[in-house]
Structure 1
Amino acid sequence: MSPPRIRLLPPELVNQIAAGEVVERPASVVKELVENALDAGARTVQVDVEEGGVRRVRVRDDGCGMSREELVLALERHATSKIARLEDLERVATLGFRGEALPAIASVSRLVLTSRAAGAATAWRLEGAARDPVPAAHPPGTTVDVRDLFHNTPARRKFLRSTRTELGHVELAVRRVALAREDVTLTLRHDGRLLLHAPAAADEAGRARRLAALMGEAFAEGAVWVEREQAGVRLWGWLGRPEQAHGRSDLQHLLVNGRAVRDRLLVAAVRRGYEDVLHHARQPAFLLYLEMDPAEVDVNVHPAKLEVRLRRPGAVYELVAQTVRTALARPAVPVQAPPVRVPSGAPVQAPPAAPVQPGLALGVREAAAVYGAPEGPAAVAEGAAPALPPLGRPLGQIHGVYLVAESARGLILVDIHAAHERITYEALREAHRRGGVPSQQLLVPVVVEVGRRRAELAEAHAEALAALGLELGRVGPERVVVRRVPALLAGADAAALARDVLEGLAEAGDAGALLRAVDEVLATMACHGSVRAGRRLEPAEQEALLRAMERTERAGHCSHGRPTWRELSLEELDRLFLRGR
């Protein structure tokens, strides 16, 4: 048998190989065609699909259109209007640029291309493998009609999923484009039924409606706006509140220079910003835009252009992580409460939330004096109700677990342990950042059995642990002695604290574990130093806890991601009791 000889592949096979990289499923076709429409200057794009896009995908736009000669070139490989020189490739500012999409799609489908250039008297249509366009009736713009996807490559077609699954991918592709271009009207229909209509947004009200339509009402109502610019990189967008997180990542959208990407580094940066307000099993929702010099981004690292490579990944990572963290650090209290309902009908506006200040995290009973005496009723006009602080005035406790407060909006329930844990955690972090956590010597040192591995960790990290206020010494192969604990945790169980801290270090891994696990260690300490469930607080202590929450960053969630408080508005209470019905 003679050895195989090197030869050129036929053009049809070359295109089908390219299709294997570019055209994974119907959604890939939709993405490529819609992006082409946007690059052509379209302001309205209509997408119609049948049977999840397997039977048909049709994309119509009102862009600049193509002449008869351009129509023929559009189906040639590497024919494009987007780049002409190497310098253009290094500064790609369009969504498409390689000229592979149309010929690749045409090689695995029955394609009809119809277009009319702006100002031209006639439209032209090209069908299948023909290279001689014929006149057609069509408004200015382009329609690409793709039928019977993978009809000539059955091995590819059998890997497609159900109509419902493929349609879900198509809808996501259109939604991502709509999120990137609020100036374009996008419509998606399936088997003639309207699935998505996103009108172009001309003002703030239009942007709000579009955000709600594309990301959901719940996200739009509670999202936190962020905006920051640093070293030539601009970041802006919306962050879902931690309580809106769920087990899926379908509401995570990142756009770099208008291109929707799935970038692990950037997603990791966002999660870093959420790290101590979100349970590890939950996924945050976000819509974030990054804008930078195109020369700073390589968009040519993935066949479908779904990934990018940044020239300064570390700087961008820190910008994203710090921006997210700062935005979520704002006290989670109502910024401006609505008028209080009073019998006299005289509404009084509640004051804005207190400014961000470092919280002090002593045990609640002892902390009352530190937080200051409870504020007296605010001076108000005659006949008006006293203004209430953002988190209201305490009314009492439920089973020693929850604190009930009356707010300007209605009723607030506070998880006492979770709230005090956040206050303690932030105080410990601030003390550590400023040079070291103050500690207190135990009158009687406590010896703890921890096992050989954990005793070794205590010995190896003794100096770093001391900076966190926890002084441990090794007194045997499997034992340590606790000599000092953080002053903020003076009443905590020293033995249990040492065990849990060392357990966290053991789970973190190698010798650099403590440097990466400082926040986890502080979170463990905060949990030990917080008010335990079942303890009854004095009225002054209840007041002190609420006011401390208003001064503490990220007070809406404990360091494990659990919410610390919830509010029932007067309207919700009225519905519960059918008032006014």
Structure 2
Amino acid sequence: MGLIKKLDPIIANKIAAGEVIEKLANVIKELVENAIDAQAKKIDIELQDSGLKMMRVIDDGLGMDEDDLLAAFERHATSKISSVNDLFRIKSLGFRGEAIPSIASISKMTITSNLKDSAKAVVFDNGQFIEIKDASLNQGTMVEVEKIFYYTPARFKYLKSEQYELALIQALIYQFALSYPNISFRLSNNQKLLFSSNGQGSIKNLMAQIYGINVGSALLDFQGQTRDFKIYGKTTKPVINRSNRQYIHIIVNHRVIQDTEIVQAILESYDQLIPKQRYPITVLYIDVDPLLIDVNVHPRKQEVKFSEKQALIDLIRSSISEVVKDKPIFQEVKNEDIQTTIDFTQGLEIKEENQTFYENDTINIQEEKRKIIPDLSYIGQYSGTYLLFQNDQGLYMVDQHAAAERIRYERYAKEMQINNQMIQTTIFPIRMDFPADVLTKLKNHKDDIENIGIKFDINDDHLLVKEIPLWFPKNYEDIYMETIIDQFSEDKRTSKKELIDDLAILLACKHSLKANHYITKAEADHLIKDLRQCQKPYTCPHGRPIIVEIKHSQVEHWFNRVI
């Protein structure tokens, strides 16, 4: 009946532009990727009015002749791939041949290029060819985009403010600079220089330039390798963290991607060293054979599918945790509102056979050698919550609840991980009533629950608990049983380790020394002694700091005793 018709190329390009180009930053991304694929070593990005009026990208790459210039405006015309097999070994950033025609369909676009001292310029407006002419340009290519979204007012309407759009472009150029530290990038807006990298390859210098000297000085190097993957990069010490995940950069074969599982692996590497909903500043580089990944997933190529992804996740988690786990992270008071770190290099042999936790809880921890809390002298308590200690270096404030919570958490976590742990039989079975649907779910998890030392029978509308672990505190049995049931009935956890971790945190929080509770000098000294034996004595299980240090020189400065 002739109802189905082939779309006009201009319409097809505008549709493609809707998938690829949503923001001004998307235009810059496509143009910079083309410059990188052209082997440029210097890339300048010039904007007028944050790109609303004009965007210009200039590179010193290979350049194009007249035929290639014209071909670049044709849809699915590309120099990156030539066969189906090439799709499985993609090394370039671009490969679909959609960007140039898509951008040209919603703007006025001029591409000037010089190949072997022969420069030409091609102009397209609203997807229509206007002219090709002689031009003057050094080796490389210059792309100018004007009147962006002029022909698609609905898209223009939904752009944010100039400053917002400019911020997105700045963040994008930061990512490119980190992905290609050997390329020099220069970004300006209205002739004002916003960013410039020297292309000398120093990741540390780039991160210090982007995020500040304090971040640059708090970076840790990590690396790891398996048969399929090689990873390396830099991440901040735990005390340097931010409120969102945009500070985590994942770069696969020089391509910036987004991947929630990898972000989660990075967070898990910090295991309780930073508070929840806080994120480290991390640049993670992943080198992998292109055959083992698929980048042809998302129109903007921001997602990648991995073969053997779990092996990659495990490698990331182990490599980063290895460098952050033993870093002292005392909070240090500064004039500025900047979190910094302090390093103690004292190493001691900790081989006491019986080490006592606060309130007569015991645990035995043996270690070869590690950095520890320095010697401290107790001088008092502030607000019934913060213990005050001193030494030659300065004043130390200890959150007594956070300290006691850390001590108890490690004790309970250790006890729950013991397979043949001691159990106690209840004199009378503990009856716990639950809806039938919850009890039905629990039948699938009965063995998992019994693995942590809890024996029970499931009836039509209730549980009968017959045995519980010996370490369950008296009068708290129902609280912890309810927590366990909730974890499994809602399928919130899939591993014994995660369940144990949550239970240990809850147990420690409920049963630890509280704030606004005054203690004696002996109890305070005992608390610090027990804290020294912890695997992670610097933060509570929630990631909050336990100790704040105020240097002696800082106190003297406050009182104008030093200049």
- TM-score calculated relative to the size of structure 2: 0.83
1:425 is the counterpart of 2:423: no
Structure 1 residue 396 and structure 2 residue 392: aligned? no
Deviation, 1:99, is 1.6
CA distance in 1, matches of 2:299, 2:312: 23
Q: Does structure 1 retain, via aligned residues, the 8 Å contact 2:37–2:94?
A: yes
Aligned pair partner of 1:352 in 342, 346, 355: 346
Unaligned runs of 5+ in 1: 335-348, 373-387
CA distance in 2, matches of 1:476, 1:356: 52
User: Per the alignment, do residues 405 and 225 of structure 1 end up closer, same or farther by CA in structure 2, a change over 3 Å counting?
Assistant: farther
Post-superposition Cα deviations, 1:137-179, rounded to whole Å, max 9, x if no partner, equal: 2111111111110111222222212212211211111111111
1:147 aligns with 2:170: no
Residue identity in the other structure for 1:503: T
Go from structure 1 to structure 2 and tell me whether the alpha carbon gap of 1:565 and 1:109 turns closer, same or farther (over 3 Å shift): same
**Whole-Å Cα distance in 2 between the matches of residues 415 and 359 of structure 1?**
27
Cα deviation per residue 1:6-50 (whole Å; 9 max; x = unaligned)? 222112112111111111111001111111111111121111112
| 8 Å CA contact retained: 1:331, 1:552 | no
Query: Aligned with 1:111: secondary structure?
Result: strand
1:495 aligns with 2:491: no
2:248 to 242, 246, 252: 252
Deviation string, structure 1 residues 382-418 (Cα, Å, up to 9, x no partner):
xxxxxx9643323234145323333564333222221
Distance 1:219 1:537 in 2: 38
CA distance in 1, matches of 2:560, 2:291: 61
Note if 1:32 corresponds to 2:30: yes
Secondary structure of the 1:404 match is strand
After superposition, the C-alpha distances for 1:180-210 in whole angstroms (9 at most, x for unaligned) are: 11111211111222222222235xxx54321
Per mean C-alpha deviation after superposition, the further-off stretch among 540-549 and 304-313 is 540-549
User: What's the counterpart of residue 295 of structure 1?
Assistant: 291
Inter-partner Cα distance in structure 1 for 2:283 and 2:544: 23
Paired residue type of 2:134: P
Partner Cα separation in structure 1 for residue 75 and residue 300 of structure 2:
16
Separation in structure 2 between the aligned mates of residue 421 and residue 446 of structure 1, nearest angstrom: 31
Question: How many aligned residue pairs are there?
Answer: 539
Deviation at residue 314 of structure 1 after TM alignment: 2.0
2:518 paired with 1:520: no
Greater share of strand: 2
State the distance in 1 between where 2:176 and 2:422 align: 54
Query: Alpha carbons of 1:291 and 1:501: their partners in 2 closer, same or farther (altered >3 Å)?
Result: farther
Q: 1:317 to 1:199 in 2, by over 3 A?
A: same
Match of 2:193 in 1: 194
1:225-281: CA deviation from partner (whole Å, max 9, x where unpaired): 322112321222233444444433331221111111112222232233345444444
Aligned to 1:23: 21
Mapped to 2, the partners of 1:462 and 1:548 lie a distance apart of: 36
Query: Unaligned 5+ residue runs, structure 2?
Result: 331-342
Percent identity at matched positions? 27
Alignment correspondent of 2:59: 61
Q: Displacement of 1:326 after TM fit?
A: 3.9
User: In 2, distance between residues paired with 1:198 and 1:105?
Assistant: 27
Q: CA deviation at 1:360?
A: 8.4
- Which aligned pairs between 1:286-365 and structure 2 lie closer than 5 A? 286-332=282-328, 351-353=345-347, 362-365=356-359
Q: Distance in 2 between matches of 1:257 and 1:355?
A: 43
The 5 A counterparts of 1:99-498 are 99-117=97-115, 120-128=116-124, 129-130=128-129, 133-202=132-201, 206-274=202-270, 276-332=272-328, 351-353=345-347, 362-366=356-360, 390-399=373-382, 400-406=384-390, 409-436=393-420, 438-439=421-422, 441=424, 451-452=433-434, 464=448, 467-468=451-452, 484-487=468-471, 492=473, 494-496=474-476, 498=478
- Report the equivalent of 2:545: 563
CA distance in 1, matches of 2:130, 2:351: 71
- Shift of the 458–562 alpha-carbon distance from structure 1 to 2, 3 Å rule, reads farther
**Aligned residues of 1:331 and 1:553 also touching (Cα < 8 A):** no
Per-residue CA distance 1:291-316 (angstroms, 9 max, x = gap): 11111111110000011111222222
Q: Determine helix, strand or coil for the equivalent of 1:114.
A: strand
RMSD of aligned alpha carbons:
3.7
Question: d(CA) in 2 for partners of 1:220 and 1:559?
Answer: 27
Tell me the SS of whatever aligns to 2:29: helix
